[in-house]
């Protein structure tokens, strides 16, 4: 949903020197969010492997909860400084999610020593399917977001704005819901110890 940040900065934040050019503000937010994600990747992997014995699910659950609560928190941001704090939370949670989700996929697609070659092919195919569905979700999210913003977000739009507060409220609520669904989907993983 970061693709809507340009509109959000323009529509919802107080117009100051920092937000006058919304694209500059979004570039700054992107750098901060990606840095927060990068900073969390390695430590969360170490924590998972060394302290929690390879447990992955609890980290993905935590990341989903943080992501699911982070996006609605944006609705309370009226200044760029406030949004930066929320973007750090979202970025860090995204770093945790991507690291642990990938590790969880690799861990659950292990091979059986008896049929190692055959199992490796199946595991590779399943990892490919996992990747396709990851890309599918990344493509579907902005499409659903655009539908939401162009239906709900176009009502009661103030002059000079792209979308209404109500549109952002619906957008970030759906985003939170999808992250909670992502966490729920982990309950279908049957392998113990991950």
What does the pLDDT look like over 6-49, one tens digit per residue?
Answer: 999 999 999 999 999 999 999 999 999 999 999 999 999 999 99
Nearest-angstrom CA–CA distance, 108 and 123: 9
Q: Residue for token digits 């590790």?
A: 103
CB atoms < 10 A from the CB of 162, how many? 17
Percent of the chain with pLDDT over 90: 68
pLDDT confidence bin for 190, thresholds 50/70/90: confident
What is the pTM assigned to this prediction?
A: 0.89
Q: What region does 167 belong to: left with phi over 0, alpha with psi -120 to 50, or beta?
A: alpha
Residue 39 host element (H or E): helix 22-46
Return the pLDDT at 8.
96
Mean of pLDDT over the chain: 89
With CA atoms as reference, report the closest residue to 21 among 94, 13, 121, 100: 13
Q: How far is CA 23 from CA 5, 9, 34, 59, 95, in A?
A: 9, 9, 16, 33, 23
Phi, psi of 55 (to 5 degrees): -65, 130
Cβ neighbours of residue 105 under 8 Å, at least 6 residues apart?
A: 127, 130
Nearest-angstrom CA–CA distance, 174 and 110: 34
Query: Quick one: tokens of 183?
Result: 């966490």
Return the pLDDT at 166.
95
The one-character DSSP state at 187 is: G
3-state secondary structure of 19: coil
Condensed to tens digits (0 to 9), the pLDDT of residues 44-62 reads 999 999 999 999 999 999 9
- Which spans in 47-164 are helix H? 57-73, 80-108, 116-151
The one-character DSSP state at 154 is: T
């Amino acid at each position: 949903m970061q693709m809507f940040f340009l509109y959000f900065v323009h529509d919802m934040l107080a117009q100051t020197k920092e937000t006058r050019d919304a694209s500059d503000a979004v570039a700054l937010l992107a750098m901060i969010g990606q840095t927060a994600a990068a900073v969390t990747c390695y430590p969360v992997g170490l924590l998972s492997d060394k302290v929690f014995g390879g447990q992955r699910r609890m980290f993905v659950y935590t990341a989903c909860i943080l992501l699911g609560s982070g996006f609605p928190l944006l609705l309370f941001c009226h200044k760029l400084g406030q949004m930066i704090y929320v973007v750090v939370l979202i970025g860090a949670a995204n770093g945790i999610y991507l690291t642990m989700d990938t590790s969880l996929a690799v861990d659950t697609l292990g091979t059986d020593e008896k049929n190692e070659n055959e199992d490796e092919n199946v595991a590779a195919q399943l990892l490919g399917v996992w990747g396709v569905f990851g890309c599918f979700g990344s493509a579907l999210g902005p499409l659903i977001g655009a539908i939401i913003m162009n239906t709900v977000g176009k009502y009661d739009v103030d002059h000079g704005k792209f979308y209404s507060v109500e549109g952002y409220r619906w957008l970030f609520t759906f985003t939170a819901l999808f992250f909670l669904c992502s966490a729920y989907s982990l309950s279908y993983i049957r392998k113990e110890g991950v």
